[in-house]
């Protein structure tokens, strides 16, 4: 077990942290004995400094442990827990999402024979795993996304990096509890608990390479952590980079893989409700950017079987979900009362593939009185492409496919099965 570098002044008293400190103290004592031997053998000033640091660290842990024992024995630690309101319940009834306790801190990492550095990360006390934060990828509504590298104990307090790489999505607990964005005091529709529970559920349904799965989930006093497979950049970034050439065949490969993700979701009764180029990661890590992965299930919802058990019930309309440009028209019409989950996901995927190939926005919002929207649902998509002078990029079969999806009335749209069987999808 490696030795953590913790600031005991920041440790919140609870039984999980107490257990970690109790297991940590003997390791620090062992390290102090080793440091003392090094001082006796070498008399080197740096060895003396290291030994003194270890001694002070051991004393701080012992003082914290003694104080924590008094607090825990008196039951005061329960008040500490009550200061953190409970997180929203897991609404995916078929699964129980577990967050294992971790400690976040600075760790000694040997990056070369003569170079030891500090690296921030989290430590899973249950099995001794370390995840070191490598690079900050993006801010999110509730926290951050980092690339992370696993590490293992080398000797003493030092860690050695292994070859396993991950993405770690962190969520600030207080923002999750209040469902407010961390940068603005506004209410958010995204539900991180349900997001992770659905990803865990889908992971147990089968291993789809086109849907992001949850590898592990952790928590400390302030954050929740989701450990995810590391993938490429957002599909939107690949499209926005004008140096990347995207052919109609590339778009077809991407669309086929999107369909595989949609089929997987429908089979297991999940509607994503926020499909867009920002919520697909490219497969650059697999050697082919077109091997996309669907991510971000914060607006996803479980579907219910109909009474016959042959199909999924419509979703009750509880307000707008998704992004304006990609959302199906019925998402904007709360008076309809309900909508089909698979149908709105297919609509959003069609808008996504339009943006991938033509690199222009289709409309600001899919509503009546929008001239572009009215043109498309009238079956005149080719006229629009000619107006934008991009008609040479898409074949008539591709335009026919999109025209079959872009119907104002969901009942008139192509189904997922009909899209799969369409000549544009099938032909190489």
CATH number at residue 244: 1.10.510.10
Same domain, 382 and 326: yes
The pairing of beta strand 270-271 with beta strand 280-281: unpaired
Which one of 205, 230, 255 terminates a domain?
230
Same domain, 77 and 111: no
Q: What angle do CA 383, 254, 270 make, to 5 degrees?
A: 100
Same domain, 379 and 281: yes
Same domain, 313 and 361: yes
Take residue 374 and report the two structure tokens written for it. Answer: 């009215």
Same domain, 5 and 125: no
Same domain, 264 and 353: yes
117 class by beta-carbon count within 10 Å (0-12 exposed, 13-18 middle, 19+ buried) = exposed
Which one of 33, 66, 83 terminates a domain?
83
Same domain, 226 and 241: no
* CATH (domain of 180): 3.30.200.20
Sequential pLDDT tens for the chain (428 residues) = 345 555 555 555 666 677 777 877 888 787 778 778 877 777 777 677 777 777 777 777 776 676 666 555 544 333 333 333 444 333 454 456 888 899 888 888 877 777 778 888 998 888 888 899 989 999 998 999 999 998 887 776 778 778 789 999 999 999 988 888 877 767 788 888 889 999 988 888 888 899 999 999 999 889 999 999 999 889 999 998 878 889 999 999 999 999 999 999 999 999 999 999 999 999 877 778 999 999 999 999 999 888 887 788 889 888 888 888 899 988 888 767 889 999 999 999 999 999 999 888 888 777 777 788 888 888 888 888 888 888 888 899 999 999 999 998 899 999 999 999 999 999 88
Same domain, 249 and 218: no
Q: How many residues does the chain have?
A: 428
Same domain, 93 and 4: no
Same domain, 67 and 104: no
Q: How many domains does the chain have?
A: 3
Same domain, 171 and 209: yes
Find where tokens 């999808």 sit: 425
Within 13 Å, how many C-alpha atoms sit on residue 414's CB side? 19
179-187 long-range contacts (CB < 8 A, ≥24 apart) are 179/88, 181/141, 181/142, 182/141, 182/142, 182/143, 183/139
Contacts of 228 (CB under 8 A, 6+ apart): 166, 167, 168, 169, 212, 213, 214, 215
Same domain, 151 and 119: yes
pLDDT value of position 3: 55
Report the distance separating Cα 174 and Cα 178, nearest Å: 6
CB 202 within 8 A of CB 211: yes
Which one of 57, 83, 109 terminates a domain?
83
Q: Which domain holds residue 174?
A: 88-230
């Amino acid at each position: 077990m490696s030795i953590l570098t913790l600031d005991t002044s920041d440790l919140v008293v609870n039984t999980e942290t107490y257990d970690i400190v109790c297991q940590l103290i003997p390791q620090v004592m062992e390290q102090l004995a080793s440091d003392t031997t090094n001082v006796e053998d070498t008399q080197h000033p740096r060895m003396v400094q290291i030994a003194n640091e270890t001694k002070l660290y051991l004393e701080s842990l012992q003082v914290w442990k003694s104080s924590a024992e008094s607090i825990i024995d008196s039951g005061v630690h329960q008040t500490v827990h009550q200061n953190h309101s409970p997180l929203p319940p897991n609404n995916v009834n078929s699964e129980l999402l577990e967050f294992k306790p971790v400690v976040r801190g600075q760790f000694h990492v040997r990056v070369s024979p003569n170079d030891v550095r500090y690296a921030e990360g989290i430590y899973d006390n249950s099995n001794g795993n370390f995840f070191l934060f490598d690079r900050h990828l993006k801010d999110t509504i509730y926290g951050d996304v980092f690339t992370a590298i696993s590490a293992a104990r080398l000797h003493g307090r030092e860690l050695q990096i292994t070859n396993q790489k991950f993405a770690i999505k962190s969520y600030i607990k207080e923002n999750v509890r209040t469902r407010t964005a961390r940068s603005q005091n506004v209410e958010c529709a995204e539900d991180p608990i349900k997001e992770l529970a659905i990803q865990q559920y889908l992971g147990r349904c089968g291993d789809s390479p086109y849907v992001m799965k949850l590898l592990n989930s952790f928590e400390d006093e302030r954050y929740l952590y989701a450990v995810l497979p590391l993938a490429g950049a957002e599909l939107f970034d690949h499209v926005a980079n004008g140096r990347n050439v995207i052919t109609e065949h590339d778009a077809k490969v991407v669309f086929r893989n999107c369909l595989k993700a949609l089929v997987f979701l429908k089979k297991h009764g999940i509607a994503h409700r926020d499909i867009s180029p920002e919520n697909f990661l490219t497969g650059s890590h697999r050697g082919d950017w077109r091997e996309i992965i669907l991510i971000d299930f914060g607006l996803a919802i479980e579907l219910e079987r109909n009474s016959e058990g042959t199909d999924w019930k419509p979703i009750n309309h509880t307000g707008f979900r998704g992004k304006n440009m990609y959302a199906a028209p019925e998402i904007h019409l709360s008076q309809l009362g309900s909508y089909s989950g698979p149908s709105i996901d297919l609509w959003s995927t069609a808008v996504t593939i339009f943006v991938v190939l033509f690199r222009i926005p289709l409309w600001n919002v899919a509503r009546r009185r929008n001239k572009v929207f009215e043109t498309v649902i009238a079956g005149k998509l080719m006229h629009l492409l000619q107006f934008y002078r991009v008609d040479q990029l898409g074949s008539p079969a591709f335009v026919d496919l999109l025209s079959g999806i872009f119907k104002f009335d969901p009942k008139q749209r192509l189904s997922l099965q009909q899209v799969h069987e369409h000549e544009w999808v099938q032909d190489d």
